Chain A
Amino acid sequence: MSTRAEEALDRQATPWLFACAIATALPHAAHQAYWLSAASLLLLGWAVGLWWKNERLPGRWPLILLVIAGCGGILIEFRTLFGRDAGVAMLVLFMAMKLLELKSRRDAMVVIVLGYFLLLTHYLYSQSIPTGIWLLLALWLLTATLIRLHGGASSTRSMSLRYAARLCLQAVPFMLVLYLLFPRISGPLWGLPSDAHAGMTGLSDTMSPGSISRLAQSADIAFRARFVDTLPARHKLYWRGPVLENFDGTTWRPHIGQGTPAALDKLSPPVRYELTLEPHNQRWILALDAPVHLPEGLLLNATLAATQRQPATERQRFQLAASLDYRFNVAEDSRTLQRNLSTPRESNPKARALALGWRQTSGGPKEIIRKAQDLFAAEFTYTLQPPLLGQNGIDEFLFTTRRGFCEHYAGAFVFLMRAAGIPARVVTGYQGGEFNPLDSHLVIRQSDAHAWAEVWLDDQGWLRVDPTASVSPARIETGIVDALAFDEPLPALVQLRTDWLRNLRYRWEAVNNAWNQHILGYDPQRQRELLSRLGLPETDWRSLATLLGIACSLLVAAMTAWTLYQRPRLDPALRLWQKALRQLARRQVHCAPWETPMALAQRVREQHPALGEPFQNVVDAYLRVRYDDANDNLTPLREAIARLRR
């Protein structure tokens, strides 16, 4: 009966805590080092075993040794104790170790709070809808455990779960108010650890044979676009990423250094669209060719690629416009042209000889380009699984294997052009996209990654030439699925050829997009928009805080009022009885708390003989309703009370 015993953890509550530990830590197993998951599982197994056999928990020294061993392991694995992955690993290990120390209710509280904390860490890896649902369920379990912990054994499993669900539902209005009104601060408050944004996929800034075909096997979404007016024709959808000018024989790299600013002649009215870029940890934003009217914060570099100052580490939205027909850098800097004519000496002699032959026999650059396109159209195959290439890769590709993906065609084409004396360079990016009719968004996946070429001609500037279009016109006109044979290793998600499956995917992606746009994409900008739509323009954090305070107080007041003014539910017979007592009180007869109905009737007979008979009837009817199980009929009581009034 002492306080200590009261605070001790009851045995039946412990499995709840095991369940909490599993629910909050398990999803981390997907991306954690195997030894960490194994160690955590072993610790959990140990704790469960001790609980099952009702044995004593280990003392302090074994635990301290375990902590030291765990920290040592993490230090060896991650070379640090801080940072995202190391921090999460520590939390998971501590959670498992705390299970070996479950003695009092306070220890259990630590497990729960640690569990809540672990929930947050999952969002560092994914904020998708399934993660959200899983974590909501885990939150429910944690809350039910708290209730079970504090309610003691009289709080059963179903009762705890139901109560927890009710509490969580009642917390939702607070969450909404806070989510909408809490002053949002964007950007990191302090330096993020170096591994904060590890594991993002996307184009890299170099291209070698195989780099794009590898990327194209992923169905991940690279970005989405929503056009304000009409969707442009598919073959015009070239989304420009890094432009690669330097070639060392196998790998294409961008030129480092400032060039002259891009000079653009728009030849068609701008097409406006909104681009939602998934994080890819690079600075380019993959604007549609050719970007015009860039919003503030974006830069157009000398190669017509739109970039921003910081790598895209989170989902971003841009309002952009593009001129689909354009003339670009007609007066190009001579050093740039020189750079785009150079090829590594002594490499690929056969290709070089072919190009020189073209140069000598043809009338001009246009004809040379035509010849190269004809070459590709004749006997080349478009495939995701090209054979490996050796030292003189372009020669091998052009004259022996003749199988390749867009990076092979773009690389070989640019090499041929340069050898033939035409300035040319490789442009990487994405081509096409899939239109989702449900939410009118164009979805561009990693499988839409593409590489093409740009040649510079007198009076025309840089001109886009897509050698892949010669090999496989379908790639440009309808997309990669139709351009490749059935047995190519495209992701299943992209390949769906059945209508209803495709529809299902459209639906799922539309939901995801709405989730990203409206829930995850709620940023300071959106907050301002919402508030000005609510009639509160020009809000600063002070007015937001005031608004937040008012809204929260109103909610608390509403809930408290609901609590305070909840009338106890009276038994109907008792309510009628109280009505009869009020009748008596009007005649100055007050029922004392200890007086039984019979005693009261006796007193009434003595004090008010006239009232004695009718009141006795009320008492009889009341006692019949209360104590006769078979009789639930309230009518006689009601009638007796009505007679009392007369």
Chain B
Amino acid sequence: MKIAPSLKQLLFRWKSDGTGPLRLGQRRIFIVPSRGGLLFALALVVMLLGAINYNLALGHALVFLLAGLGIVGMIHTFRNLFGLTITPGRCEPVFAGEIAFFPLSLDNDRTAPRLALELAADAAFPVGAAVDSLGKARVRVPLPAPRRGWLALPRVRLTTRYPLGLFTAWSYLQPEMQCLVYPKPIDAPLPLAGSSDWGGDRHGDGGQEDFSGFRERQPADSPRHVAWKASARHAGEAPLLIKTFAGGTQSKLVFEWQHTAPELSDEVRLGILTGWILAAEAAGNAYGLRLPHLSLPPERGSRHCQRCLEALALFPS
């Protein structure tokens, strides 16, 4: 069974096409009759038999013209792909569980437009494209991103049946593209400001004035933040409560790996950290991130946010 992959490799060129533009040559375009084409062929055979049986001269001519049309259609379907240039673009990071889009630029240097192209990295998510005469089209190939980390674009199938739909021509593209997938954010309350010991800038202890109320405990909350007294009032019938503090916009936060409950799995802890970073970024806070293997000092802005998320996405598991 070892032969199958290498045969496939040989037949379908399962190897990377690099990051540069690639032009579809005849050796990487495959073509077979489609279902509609088989129906058409069957109809032609029946029609030919009818024409012979009834000795219809024009019937012969019609059948032969249609057969010619089928062959011409095949060449034109092939032509719809042949010579198309595909240039990979840069893809935007997404969160795990979302759909990543890999942008490809399709260039047509022919005067005839190329219509009804279909690209699919995942057979369930095809995307259509059409390129004008001597034009350029950008197409974003969707691919579900289930896990954090680098998501490499698998082999993309570029299919067309245009113009007559009697043949399916396809080609496999394997541009070297990857998309960064951030961990899936988990909504969790921000950790107590000041629970970090970053640079001695501690103002958490005096945070009593900022106390803003209670809320129900989430699994991600550290037991240290539980408001035991308030919780006791409900005599254990209600969930534990957590003290919340109104963080000022100027407050500096540092999200630490240790802030998340150690009994949770790494992925959940990363998700919680992601959620915190997004919340802090949305609130306009400066925040830092400290992971076991790297730390980022508190800062503000989307670049910093991306850096933090990237660190989380690439967290060694």
B104-129 to A contact mask, C-beta < 8 Å, 1/0: 00000111010110100001111110
Contact B21–A117 (Cβ < 8 Å): no
**A618 → B minimal CB distance (Å):** 23
Q: For the complex, what is the distance from the CA of A520 to the CA of B57, rounded to whole Å?
A: 5
With A109-B165, A559-B72 known as contacts, the answer to whether A127 contacts B58 (CB < 8 A) is yes
Q: Across the interface, which residues of B come within 8 angstroms of A152, CB to CB?
A: 115-116, 128, 130
Beta-carbon nearest neighbor of A562 in chain B: B75
CA distance A556 to B78 in the complex (A): 12
Let me know if A65 is at the binding interface, CB within 8 A.
no
**Cβ A593 vs Cβ B165 within 8 A:** no
Q: Is the CB of A135 within 8 A of B62?
A: yes
- Encode A147-188 as 1/0 by CB contact (under 8 A) with B: 101111011000100010001101111110011001011111
A78: Cβ under 8 A from any B Cβ: no
Tell me, rounded to whole Å, the shortest Cβ–Cβ distance linking A142 to chain B: 10
Closest B residue to A164 by CB, please name it. Answer: B163
A556 proximity list for chain B (CB < 8 A): 71, 75
Q: How far is the CB of A400 from chain B (nearest CB, A)?
A: 50
User: Out of B36, B62, B67, which one reaches A119, CB within 8 Å?
Assistant: B62
**B47 touches which of A109, A120, A184 (Cβ 8 Å):** A120
A11 close to chain B: CB less than 8 A: no
Contact B163 A147 (CB under 8 A): yes
Interface residues of A in 557-594 (CB under 8 A from B): 559-560, 563-564, 566, 568-570, 593
The verdict on B314 contacting chain A, using a C-beta distance below 8 Å, is no
**Residues on the A chain within 8 Å of B63, using CB:** 120
Q: Does A293 contact B (CB under 8 A)?
A: no
Interface membership of B7, Cβ < 8 A:
no
**For B52, what are the chain A residues with a Cβ–Cβ distance below 8 Å?**
185, 189
| Alpha-carbon separation in the docked complex, A110 to B123 (Å) | 25
Residue of B nearest to A187 (CB): B55
* B53 neighbours in A (Cβ, 8 Å): 188-190, 192
B69 contacts partner chain A, Cβ-Cβ < 8 Å: yes
- A314 close to chain B: CB less than 8 A: yes
Do residues A175 and B64 form an inter-chain contact, with CB atoms below 8 A? yes
Chain A residues within an 8 Å CB radius of B71: 171, 174, 552, 555-556
Rounded to whole Å, the gap between the CB of B120 and the closest CB of chain A is 9
Q: Is A353 an interface residue (CB 8 A)?
A: no
Within A101-116, the residues touching B (CB, 8 Å) are 105-106, 109-110, 113, 116
Q: Is B262's beta carbon under 8 Å from chain A?
A: no
Q: Is B257 on the interface with A (CB-CB < 8 A)?
A: no
Knowing A135-B62, A167-B163, the reply to whether A124 touches B116 (Cβ < 8 A) is no
Contact of B65 among A168, A189, A568, A593 (CB under 8 A): A168
**Interface status of A360 (Cβ within 8 A of chain B):** no
Q: A152-B130, A522-B57 are in contact. Are A564 and B82 (CB under 8 A)?
A: yes
Residue in B67, B124, B126, B162 whose CB lies within 8 Å of A174: B67
Binds B, one of A1-9, A27-35, A333-341: A1-9
Q: Is residue A196 within 8 Å, beta carbon to beta carbon, of the partner chain?
A: yes
Inside 8 A of B40's CB, which chain A residues have their CB?
109, 113, 116
State the Cβ distance, A4 to closest chain B Cβ, in Å: 11
Does any Cβ of B come within 8 Å of A123's Cβ?
yes
Given A106-B35, A178-B64, are A6 and B128 neighbors across the interface (CB < 8 Å)? yes
Bound form: Cα–Cα A196–B52 in Å: 14
Judge whether B56 and A120 touch: CB under 8 Å.
yes
| Number of inter-chain CB pairs below 8 Å | 175
Q: Report the minimal beta-carbon distance from A27 to chain B, rounded to whole angstroms.
A: 14
B20 contacts the other chain (Cβ, under 8 Å)? yes
CA distance A147 to B36 in the complex (A): 13
- B30 CB → nearest A CB, Å: 15
Mark contacts of B58-92 with chain A using CB atoms, 8 A cut-off: 1 yes-contact digit, 0 otherwise: 11111111111101110110110011000000000
> Whole-angstrom distance between the alpha carbons of A126 and B133 in the complex?
43
Per a CB cutoff under 8 Å, which of A143, A150, A154, A182 touches B60? A182
> Closest CB-CB distance, B59 to chain A, in whole Å?
5
- CB–CB A151/B115 < 8 A: yes
Q: How far is the CA of A154 from the CA of B116 in the complex (A)?
A: 8
- Check if B57 sits within 8 Å of A569, measured CB to CB: no
Task: For B69, give its contact among A1, A132, A168, A593 (CB under 8 Å).
Answer: A168
Contact B64 A559 (CB under 8 A): no
> Which residues A292-326 have CB closer than 8 A to chain B?
314
Chain A: which residue is nearest B160 at the CB level? A150
A146 at the interface (CB under 8 A from B): yes
Residues of A within 8 A of B69 (CB): 143, 167-168, 171
B121 vs chain A, min Cβ distance (A): 13
Does A521 lie at the interface of the complex (its beta carbon under 8 Å from any beta carbon of B)? yes
Q: Is the CB of B60 within 8 A of A167?
A: no
- Asked whether A174 lies within 8 Å of B68 as measured between CB atoms, the reply is yes
Chain A residues within an 8 Å CB radius of B252: none
Q: Are A151 and B60 in contact (CB under 8 A)?
A: no
Does B186 lie at the interface of the complex (its beta carbon under 8 Å from any beta carbon of A)?
no
A225 contacts the other chain (CB 8 A): no
Q: Is B283 an interface residue (CB 8 A)?
A: no
A519 close to chain B: CB less than 8 A = yes
Which B residues lie within 8 Å of A559 (CB)?
A: 72, 75
Given the known interface contacts A151-B162, A171-B69, the answer about A117 and B57 at a Cβ–Cβ threshold of 8 Å is no
Interface string of B12-44 (1 = CB under 8 A from A): 000000001100001000000001100110010
B49 interface residue per 8 A CB criterion: yes
Contact residues in A for B128 (Cβ distance below 8 Å): 6, 152
A23 CB-CB contact with B under 8 Å = no
State whether B161 touches A3 (Cβ < 8 A).
no
Q: Are A106 and B57 neighbours in the complex by a CB distance under 8 Å?
A: no
Assuming the contacts A6-B118, A106-B35, A152-B128, asked whether A113 and B58 have C-beta atoms less than 8 A apart, the reply is: no
Bound Cα distance A189, B58 (Å): 18
Considering the chains assembled together, what is the distance between the CA atoms of A132 and B54 in angstroms?
17
Residues of A within 8 A of B130 (CB): 152, 154
Contact of B164 among A106, A146, A172 (CB under 8 A): A146
> Given contacts A109-B36, A113-B39, A154-B130, is CB(A175)–CB(B110) below 8 Å?
no
B268 within 8 A of A: no
B50: CB under 8 A from chain A?
Answer: yes
B47/A521 in contact, CB under 8 A: no
- Assembled-state Cα–Cα distance A116/B116 (Å): 24
Judging by beta carbons under 8 Å apart, are A120 and B62 in contact?
Answer: yes
Which residues of A have CB within 8 Å of B20? Answer: 593
B59 closest partner in A (C-beta): A123
Residue B11 interfacial (CB < 8 Å) = no
The reply to whether the CB of A139 lies closer than 8 angstroms to some CB of chain B is yes
User: Judging by beta carbons under 8 Å apart, are B58 and A155 in contact?
Assistant: no
Determine if B51 is an interface residue (Cβ-Cβ < 8 Å).
yes
Q: Are A186 and B78 in contact (CB under 8 A)?
A: no
Chain A residue nearest to B44 in the complex (CB): A116
Establish whether residues A116 and B164, one from each chain, have CB atoms under 8 Å apart when the complex forms: no
The answer to whether B126 and A6 have CB atoms under 8 Å apart is: yes
Residues of B close to A552: CB separation below 8 A = 71
Query: Which residues of the partner chain A approach B62 to less than 8 Å between Cβ atoms?
Result: 119-120, 123, 135, 139
Instruction: Tell me which of B51, B66, B73, B82 contacts A116 (CB under 8 A).
Output: B66
Q: Hey, what's the 0/1 contact readout for B129-143 against A, CB within 8 Å counting as 1?
A: 010001000000010
B230 beta carbon closer than 8 Å to chain A: no
Query: Can you identify 8 A-B contacts, CB atoms within 8 angstroms?
Result: A146-B165, A171-B68, A174-B64, A182-B64, A186-B55, A192-B54, A519-B61, A569-B134
The 6 closest A-B pairs by CB, nearest first: A174-B68, A171-B68, A568-B109, A178-B64, A520-B57, A150-B165
Chain B positions within 8 Å of A, measured between CB atoms, are: 20-21, 26, 35-36, 39-40, 43, 46-47, 49-69, 71-73, 75-76, 78-79, 82-83, 109-111, 113, 115-116, 118, 123-128, 130, 134, 142, 161-165
Q: A135-B58, A154-B115, A167-B72 are in contact. List 9 more A-B contacts (CB 8 A).
A: A2-B126, A116-B47, A123-B54, A171-B65, A178-B68, A179-B61, A185-B52, A568-B83, A568-B110
